Amino acid sequence: MEKNLLPKDLPKEEFLLPGTRACSGCAFALAYRFALKALGKRTIACTPASCSTVLSGMYPVTSLKIPMLNTAFESTGAALSGIRAALDILGKEDITVLGWAGDGGTVDIGIQSLSGAAERGTDMIYVCYDNEAYMNTGVQRSGSTPYGAFTTTTPTGKLQKRKNMPAILAAHGVPYVATANSSYPIDLYLKFKKAKDEFKGKTRYIHIIAPCPPGWGFHTKDFIKIGRLATQSGLWPLYEIIEGKMILSKPTRDIVLGKKKRVPVTDYFQAQSRFRTLSDVQIQQIQAEVDQEFESFKQNL
Amino acid sequence: MGRKLVLNGNHAAAHACKDARVQVIAAYPITPQSPLTELLSQFVEHGDLKAKYICVESEHSAITVCIAASSTGARTFTATSANGLLLMHEQLHWAAGARLPIVLACVNRAVAAPWNVWNDQQDSISQRDTGWIQIYCEDNQEIYDRIIQAYKIAEQLYIPVMVCFDGYILSHTLMPVETIDQDSIDEFLPPYKPHITLDPENPCVLNLVTFPWIRQDHPDIEKLGGYPELRYQLQQTLLSSFEVIEQVDREFGEKFGRDYGLYIEYQCADADYILMAMGSIASEATVAVDLLREEGYKIGMLSLKLFRPFPAEILAAYADRAPASTYIIIERGLSYGYEGAVCTEFKAALFTHQIQKNVHNYLIGIGGRDFDVYQIIEATKQSINAIDNGQTYKEMEWINVQK
């Protein structure tokens, strides 16, 4: 990937306008902004029921400068196949079709239609922006809520581990799978560029962690910091899976190489209120699992 | 030139889609619909139809593909039956609310539980309130003709159309069907030109969250209204669609020599009693009428073609005009806990327009239970006897069911 690119070097044109209905300190809004800079004007987006529905505005006013289709909660994958089919038959093959769904709409209710679209090899970029619970309905647990996190339906902390959605998509044979983090905007931008330019015509899946101040319990000013801690602690590693081969992205690779120090998971947990019920034993267990995962990452260097 | 083919109902529908130059098809296999979409996939594969055929993983996704493709400007088609249609339910509301001219063929089949793959009309009757136009076909020629008409109606009104036909009885039965030559169809049905689509050159966001109130924060916004205004428009368009549906049918008739109307009447001019039915059962009822006439009964048959929007005023005016005192409605779907859906609607239409008629209701052939014309005759005689004995009202009755 290109080195030394700075946010100020990115295209100036904005496709997500200021004054959206997203909460202040919303990380997925920032990710959306950078993603659209990479994808450009000839993009059609599609969003299921989610915070993104709210961000898009209230009829007849919108914050988006690209066309977007709101679709039913479980239907994003199928809707992307439909948009793609119409564009292809109408001779508009150059347009990028972008799915922009939350974790509930991706890993839970939407997994079937996403799996179908991925299996069909739909020419699309599907994004899961993951705020790790049903935030739009008031912080209920999802299949992507991490172990131990408080939500309104897991009052003593979630007892199960999250689904590994990137691995599930990679298992479909999706040729480009990546994780991203809005606290690493250049990495995120370049992944979208790559998805658009190098994997055109294929299914692409990008899973973005999206820190959520009201849902996670931290101050809005800290959302970049929280995102960084997620990756620095190893809880949200950044990587690409290209044709089945995992390639670690720089922030995570530097940790594996020992160039940067991995911070303890407690630093991440203590910065948010949702992990307040985690016991020391649970934290040690999570730390051990992260340590083990990073050990295994050495094979991917 | 058009051709005379021998087709089952499913294949008649597939030929109509090909001739209507459908651009995006999405379907999921279900009995008895499967042969319809199999033939369509062959048309696409062999290059007879320039379209995208999306093999989806569920009916919910099939209708979603149609919604998204239609929103992007393509002419779309899907087909299903029974539980497949029920799985689409959420998106049927969505398609109508989003005002998309999708055409769906419902190959009518009983719904589970228990499992049953045979014919009745409970599937489409249960979709009554979704905002779709529902047309019921009597034979395979009508299936072909109505699907072509359906696109013209849908694209004029921005309302989706469900063309319903009975599973097996039509879907798997061969009949002669006259297809129409491509040039004539193209002239009748020009390419779909939507008023709004997902287009990067003219970006807009579709199906946004819409407030219950009318926004006051911009002068232009006020004219557009809120959620109730958009829903009011859907209802008003449906209520005023009879003219378009009839006009398209008339134009089709003038061009191709076949039209159907909102209902077909048979031997009703002097009838004291009228049998009323929807779909293939109406054909069966004409035979009953002939046999009863031989016995001296003054009886006719009314085949209802349109269930939604319900032609209440038109039927009430008909009932007012026609001499018959009694309507015997034979149905293959009901509202559980009440009675046959057509019966309820028809009685409400009569009441609204203050027309007094006897209305009797029979349920027949549920879950594919075989019935013959003599059972219709028996039920009819039972009603006539009841009326003669002064019993003008009777509850809905199941024909040929062990009680």
Task: Give residue-wise pLDDT tens across range A269-300.
Answer: 999 999 999 999 999 999 999 999 999 999 98
Asked if B380 is an interface residue toward chain A (Cβ–Cβ < 8 A), one would say no
Compare all CA atoms of chain B with the CA of A113 and give the residue at the minimum distance.
Answer: B61
Q: Is the ipTM of this complex over 0.90?
A: yes
Query: What is the enclosing helix (H) or strand (E) of A98?
Result: strand A96-102
Tokens (6 digits) for B205: 């966001």
Of all residues in chain B, the percent with pLDDT exceeding 70 is 100
Average pLDDT, stretch A57-63?
Answer: 91
Q: How confident is the model at residue A3, as a pLDDT?
A: 62
Chain A positions in Cβ-Cβ contact with residue B68 (cut-off 8 Å):
46, 69, 71, 78-83, 86
Q: What is the pLDDT of residues B290-328, one digit of tens each?
A: 999 999 999 999 999 999 999 999 999 999 999 999 999
Please tell me if residue B71 touches chain A, with a CB cutoff of 8 Å. yes
Query: What's the pLDDT tens digit per position in A197-220?
Result: 999 999 999 999 999 999 999 999
pLDDT digits 0-9 by tens, B22-75: 999 999 999 999 999 999 999 999 999 999 999 999 999 999 999 999 999 999
Percent of chain A with pLDDT over 70: 99
Q: Which residues of A touch B66 (CB under 8 A)?
A: 82
Measure CB to CB from residue A85 to each of B69, B90, B205 and give the nearest one: B69
Q: What is the pLDDT of residue B1?
A: 64
Rounded CA gap, A119 and B35, in Å?
Answer: 24
CB atoms within 10 A of CB A225: 15
Nearest CA in chain B to A63: B205
Q: Which chain A residue is nearest to residue B28, measuring alpha carbons?
A: A116
Cβ of B3 under 8 Å from any chain A Cβ? no
Sorted by where each begins, the domain ranges of chain B are 4-193+243-255, 263-398
Interchain contact B28–A (C-beta under 8 A): no
> Exposed, middle or buried: residue B356 (CB in 10 Å: 0-12, 13-18, 19+)?
exposed
Cα angle, residue B137 at apex, residues B177 and B241 outer, rounded to 5°: 120
How does residue A301 score in pLDDT terms, banded at 50, 70 and 90?
Answer: confident
CA dist A207 and A101 (Å) reads: 10
Q: What pLDDT, on a 0 to 100 scale, did the predictor assign at position B97?
A: 98
CB contact under 8 A, B198 and A70: no
Residue A181 lies in a domain: yes
The enclosing H or E element of B244 equals helix B242-256
User: Min CA distance, A96 vs chain B (Å)?
Assistant: 10
Say yes or no for a CB contact (<8 Å) between A59 and B209: yes
Please give the mean pLDDT across all residues of chain A: 96
Q: Which pLDDT score, from 0 to 100, does residue A7 have?
A: 86
Angle value at C-alpha B52, between B47 and B58, nearest 5 degrees: 130
Residue A19: predicted pLDDT: 87
- The answer to whether B137 and B146 are in contact (CB under 8 A) is yes
Residues in CB range of B311: below 8 A, 6 or more apart: B242, B262, B263
Chain A nearest-CA distance from B74, in A, is 5
Interface test with B, best of A52, A81, A109 (most B CBs within 10 A): A81
Q: Dihedral sign, CA of A32, A37, A39, A42?
A: positive
Indicate the number of domains in chain A: 1
Domain of residue A108: give its range.
11-300
Residue of chain B whose Cα is closest to the Cα of A111:
B57
At B293, phi and psi to the nearest 5? -60, -40
A206 vs A240: CA distance, rounded Å: 9
Query: What is d(CA A141, CA A136) in angstroms, rounded to the nearest whole number?
Result: 12
pLDDT in tens, A82-92: 999 999 999 99
Is residue A4, in this structure, part of any structural domain at all? no
Which residues does chain A have within 8 Å of residue B196's beta carbon, measured at their own beta carbons? Answer: none
Would residue B45 be called left, alpha or beta, if left means φ above 0 and alpha means ψ between -120 and 50 degrees?
alpha
Beta bridge partner(s), residue A69? A46, B206
- B116-161: per-residue pLDDT in tens? 999 999 999 999 999 999 999 999 999 999 999 999 999 999 999 9
Q: Is the pLDDT of residue B216 over 90?
A: no
Domain B4-193+243-255 and domain B263-398, same fold? Reply is yes
Asked if B212 has any chain A CB less than 8 Å from its own CB, the reply is: no
| Average model confidence (pLDDT) across chain B | 96
Q: A70 contacts in B (CB within 8 Å)?
A: 205-209
Contact: A113, B200; criterion CB under 8 Å: no
Which CATH number do you get for residue A236? 3.40.50.970
Give the pLDDT score at B217: 83
Per-residue confidence band for B218, with pLDDT thresholds at 50, 70 and 90 = confident
What is the structure's pLDDT at B392?
Answer: 87
Please indicate if any CB of chain A lies within 8 Å of the CB of B90.
yes
Is the CB of B69 inside 8 Å of chain A's CB atoms? yes
pLDDT of residue B394: 87
- Is 60 exceeded by the pLDDT of residue A2? no
pLDDT band at B356 (very low <50, low <70, confident <90, very high): very high
Residue range B376-384: mean pLDDT, rounded: 95
DSSP string, B11-62: HHHHHHHHHTT--EEEE---TTTHHHHHHHHHHHHTTSS--EEEE-SSHHHH
Interface of A with B (CB under 8 A): 41-44, 46, 53-54, 56-62, 64-72, 74-75, 77-83, 85-90, 95, 112-113, 115-116, 119-120
Alpha helices (H) in chain A, listed in sequence order: 27-39, 51-55, 76-89, 103, 111-120, 165-171, 185-198, 213-216, 223-232, 250-256, 265-270, 280-297
> Which residues touch A214 (CB under 8 Å, ≥6 apart)?
A23, A135, A139
pLDDT at B204 exceeding the cut of 80: yes
What whole-number distance in Å separates Cα of residue B33 and Cα of residue A93? 32
C-beta of residue A148 within 8 angstroms of C-beta of residue A265: no
**How many other β-carbons are positioned within 10 Å of the β-carbon of residue B126?**
18
pLDDT at A125: 98
Q: What is the pLDDT of residue B234?
A: 98
Residue B87 has pLDDT above 90, yes or no: yes
Q: Which pair of tokens denotes residue B222?
A: 């006020």
> H or E element: which one contains A127?
strand A124-130
> What are the E-state strand segments in B36-173?
52-55, 76-80, 103-108, 133-136, 161-166
Interface test with B, best of A16, A69, A93, A95 (most B CBs within 10 A): A69
**Residue appearing with tokens 């014309």:** B373
Options 3.40.50.920, 3.30.300.30, 1.10.10.10, 3.50.50.60; CATH for B263-398 is 3.40.50.920
Q: How far apart are CA A297 and CA A300, in angstroms?
A: 5
For A59, the closest chain B residue by CA position comes to B210
More confident call, B69 vs B214: B69
**A133-142: pLDDT as tens digits:** 999 999 999 9
In terms of Cα–Cα distance, which of A272, A279, A90 is closest to B191? Answer: A90
Q: What is the CATH number of domain B4-193+243-255?
A: 3.40.50.970
Across the interface, whether the CB atoms of A58 and B24 are under 8 A apart is answered no
